[in-house]
Amino acid sequence: MPYVNIQVTREGVTREQKAALIAGVTDLLVRVLGKSPATTHVVISEVELDNWGVGGLPVPDYRRQTQ
């Protein structure tokens, strides 16, 4: 029973994009590992930008530095 957690920043990921991620990850696990889609769980967690860090900085600060 695979469990996959996808974390993205909360920046307007659409319902359709989430559905495509869930379908794509499920298909990958079926094709590569032979897992059953009926027991494959995919969870998408949206994280506020201020709660996500990269390069030692919150994402908004990191983006300002790299622009």
Residues with active-site annotation: 2
Q: For residues 28 and 59, what is the distance between their CA atoms, to the nearest angstrom?
A: 29
H/E element, 3 = strand 3-9
Strands 57-58, 53-54: parallel, antiparallel or unpaired by DSSP?
antiparallel
